[in-house]
């Protein structure tokens, strides 16, 4: 797989395409793109068969090691790749270390190893163990092992250690990659650690660029510890370090961030030069019974940025979640019906909400690409920002924990500017 820039502006915002995929030469993935977040190889609440009703376009599945650790022994004896194993052989796959929708526990560091938190507890991985998994899984893309346990509050000692570990892990993984016949054509993403210290980021970038010809892209790691908190991360906090790192990297390389970024922050990150995101944001929305309803096209006139379908006001609302949406949930079911399903704790409820959220989020990324092409991305940003701000005052008096857990009225959002 190779990344090609399509726009004259090679830095930001830009259009690109991932193509020349091994064994699938006709597959092309346009960027900016959102990888489909999965747990155990499946989109939360949605099967691969159901997702085909959402989109028939080629997609990249984000496979987190933390959710697939229990299958490592099985994969040693399985002759196919991870995409075949999970029942989605037509999809591309990207192997990551942590699940961006769940908070990664801080601390618990051991020399030369990284802790991951599985359903069965803590498991320590070193470079050799990690690369064994990569060879068994055979993903189309993968991130090298890294120490991303940093955030805005991390002390300098922890930041320095994260950079030291990440450089060491990357060198060890890269040495194994070069020797592996199974991985020679895979798309390798190098992680850049360093928290919010630009000097630490510089050190990591300088070390990684010595092997820059092997890397197809970079992951800006260590901005947060994953989970729902990322939705509320002020963009002003991350802007400086992201902008600094992007300018230090080669123009022709793919650049990725992970996490539950809200749509407004996604646009701002795209404007800085980020190419790859994921749909973990859709999962945390669905878990609190909320559906995305922000306007994507200028002729759409929905008032709310998002709605919480547990709200009793929807008990007799027989309109779809979003009037102009063409997803299965909106064309076949009403808000009243989904509210009823939530009330009686029927499992179909999160399925329908997730179908809508994924569809809406992918349509949002398609609009981003369109706006970059016709130079109207700032207009889209302003449109979503205005809708976002209208709901800010409505939740100022709400308990933030209640909002995140889905117990508020649900037609509000959080100001992140």
Domain-embedded: residue 376: yes
Judge if 185 and 227 occupy the same domain.
Answer: yes
Contact 198, 244 (CB under 8 A): yes
Structure confidence at residue 311 (pLDDT): 95
Packing angle, helices 127-137 and 156-179, rounded to 10:
50
Q: Mean of the pLDDT values across residues 22-39?
A: 93
Considering 259, 285, 311, which residue would you say is the last residue of a domain? 285
Last residue of a domain, one of 238, 265, 285: 285
The answer to whether residue 415 is domain-embedded is no
Which of 259, 352, 291 lies closest to 45, judged by CA? 352
pLDDT at position 215 over 70: yes
- Tell whether 310 and 280 lie within a shared domain: no
Kindly state whether residue 175 falls inside one of the protein's structural domains: yes
pLDDT at 339 over 80: yes
Q: Does position 401 have pLDDT exceeding 60, yes or no?
A: no
State the pLDDT at residue 128: 96
Range of the domain at 122: 2-285
pLDDT-derived band at 416 (thresholds 50, 70, 90) equals very low
Residues 213 and 298 in one domain: no
What is the average per-residue pLDDT within 305-309? 95
Residue 417 lies in a domain: no
Within-domain flag for 48: yes
Whether 70 is in a domain gets the answer: yes
Q: Mean pLDDT across the stretch 22-46?
A: 94
| pLDDT at residue number 415 | 33
Residues 218-242 pLDDT 10s: 999 999 999 999 998 999 999 999 9
Judge if 249 and 311 occupy the same domain: no
pLDDT at 23 over 90: no
The beta strand positions in 156-273, using DSSP E, are 187-192, 217-220, 254-256
- Residues 323 and 233 both lie in one domain: no
Query: Does 176 reside within a domain?
Result: yes
Query: pLDDT band for position 83 (50/70/90)?
Result: very high
User: Band of the pLDDT at 386, cuts 50, 70, 90?
Assistant: confident
Residue at a domain's end among 237, 258, 285:
285
Stronger pLDDT, 407 or 312, i.e. the higher one? 312
- Give the separation between CA 249 and CA 246, rounded to whole angstroms: 5
- Helix axis angle for 198-209 and 156-179, nearest 10°, is 10
C-alpha to C-alpha distance for 58 and 35, rounded to whole angstroms: 11
On whether both 350 and 231 belong to a single domain, the answer is no
Decide if 196 contacts 152 (C-beta within 8 A). Answer: yes
The pLDDT, as a whole number, for residue 10 is 83
- How confident is the prediction for the chain on average, in pLDDT? 92
Cβ(208)–Cβ(218) under 8 Å?
A: yes
Total domain count for the chain?
2
> What single string gives the DSSP state of each residue in 41-75?
TB-TT--HHHHTTT--S--EEEEEHHHHGGGHHHH
In a domain, 353, yes or no: yes
Binding residues: 325, 327, 330, 356
Alpha carbon distances (Å) from 244 to 196, 206, 229: 10, 13, 23
Same structural domain, 394 and 378: yes
Q: Are residues 171 and 314 in the same domain?
A: no
What pLDDT does 188 receive?
96
Helix axes 335-343, 348-374, angle to 10 degrees: 140
Give me the CATH number covering residue 247. 3.20.20.105
Residues in binding site for Zn(2+): 325, 327, 330, 356
In DSSP terms, 36 is beta-bridged to 61
**pLDDT per residue over 257-280, tens digit each?**
999 999 999 999 999 999 999 999
Q: Do both 385 and 247 map to the same domain?
A: no
Label residue 411 by pLDDT band (50, 70, 90). Answer: very low
**How confident is the model over 44-79, as pLDDT tens digits?**
999 999 999 899 899 999 999 999 999 989 999 998
335 shares a domain with 249? no
pTM attached to this predicted model: 0.93
Q: Do 310 and 220 share a structural domain?
A: no
Q: Are residues 21 and 153 in the same domain?
A: yes
């Amino acid at each position: 797989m190779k990344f090609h820039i399509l726009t004259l502006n090679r830095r930001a915002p830009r259009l690109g395409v991932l193509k020349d995929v091994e064994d699938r030469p006709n597959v092309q993935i346009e960027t900016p793109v959102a990888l489909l977040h999965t747990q155990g190889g499946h989109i939360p609440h949605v099967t691969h068969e159901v997702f085909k009703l959402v989109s028939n376009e080629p997609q990249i599945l984000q496979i987190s090691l933390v959710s697939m650790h229990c299958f490592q022994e099985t994969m040693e004896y399985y002759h196919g790749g991870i995409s075949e194993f999970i029942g989605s052989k037509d999809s591309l796959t990207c192997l990551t270390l942590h699940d961006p929708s769940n908070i990664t526990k801080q601390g618990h560091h051991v020399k030369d190893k990284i802790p991951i938190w599985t359903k069965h507890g803590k498991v320590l991985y070193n470079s050799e163990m990690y690369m064994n998994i990569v060879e068994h899984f055979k993903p189309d893309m993968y991130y090298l092992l890294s120490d991303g346990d940093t955030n805005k509050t991390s002390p300098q000692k922890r930041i320095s250690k994260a950079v030291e570990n990440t450089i060491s892990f990357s060198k060890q993984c890269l040495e194994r990659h070069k020797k592996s016949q199974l991985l020679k054509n895979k798309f390798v993403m190098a992680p850049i650690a360093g928290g919010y210290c630009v000097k630490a980021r510089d050190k990591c970038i300088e070390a990684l660029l010595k092997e820059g010809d092997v890397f197809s892209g970079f992951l800006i790691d260590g901005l947060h510890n994953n989970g729902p908190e990322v939705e509320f991360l002020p963009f002003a906090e991350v802007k400086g370090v992201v902008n600094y790192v992007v300018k230090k990297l080669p123009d022709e390389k793919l650049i990725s961030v992970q996490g539950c970024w809200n749509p407004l922050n996604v646009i701002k990150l795209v404007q800085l030069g980020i190419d790859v995101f994921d749909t973990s944001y859709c999962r945390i929305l669905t878990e609190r019974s909320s559906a995305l309803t922000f306007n994507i096209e200028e002729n759409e006139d929905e008032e709310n940025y998002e709605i919480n379908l547990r709200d009793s006001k929807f008990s007799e609302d027989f309109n779809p979640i979003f009037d102009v949406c063409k997803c299965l949930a909106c064309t076949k079911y009403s808000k009243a019906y989904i509210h009823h399903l939530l009330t009686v704790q029927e499992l179909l409820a999160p399925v329908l909400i997730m179908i809508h959220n994924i569809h809406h989020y992918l349509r949002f990324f398609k609009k981003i690409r369109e706006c970059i092409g016709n130079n109207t991305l700032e207009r889209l940003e302003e449109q979503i920002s205005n809708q976002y701000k209208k709901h800010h005052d409505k939740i100022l008096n709400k308990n933030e924990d209640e909002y995140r857990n889905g117990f508020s009225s649900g037609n509000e959002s959080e100001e992140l500017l």
